Amino acid sequence: MATLSEIQALLGEPRFNWSDPAPWTELEQELGIEFPADFREILDAYGSIEINGQLYLKHPAGHLLHSLGEMIRLDLELWREEDMAEFLPGPVGANSGELMPVATATTGEAIFLRVPDGSSSPWRVVVQEFDSPAWTLYEMTFSEWLLAYLGGRDVTLCSRDFAPDRPFWEFLP
């Protein structure tokens, strides 16, 4: 699994550094899942941010416009619509094998975490290209996927076009 220090080496120092578990606890109780530790660690470090002017990550302590919980609630509703379900490899939700929406991109992609089938199974990343029925399952943890993205690898989102010199981020307004 990729580490926060590897992500920091590419993305730069975080300035959010959240330490109160309450927003995570409330959201996880509402959804009935426990998010993977690497996902929580990254969001706790950076908060609600836009990476490379493309990828939106939101923290559960963010305000209404940039709240992970609000984004997930809206996205679950959207992806549960009958005409949207065909665009994913499985249903959205918090049960084993289901997809939990966790991030979006300005280029039309939706990023999901695939809920593990068992406690010893790892979380995986699914990226759906909103403008087509295409989706890709990445046999990577969230931190591995984000590190690949920041390193310029094509993980459905490609940062080289948006960050030719090096990855950058800014807080969401």
User: Is 4 within 8 Å of 13 (Cβ atoms)?
Assistant: no
- pLDDT score, position 94: 96
- pLDDT score, position 160: 65
Taken in order of first residue, the domains within the chain and their CATH numbers are 4-150+159-171 (3.40.1580.10)
Angle at CA 65, nearest 5°, toward 62 and 69? 55
Residue type, 32: G
Average pLDDT estimate for 78-102: 91
Q: What is the pTM of this model?
A: 0.94
Average pLDDT estimate for 152-162: 78
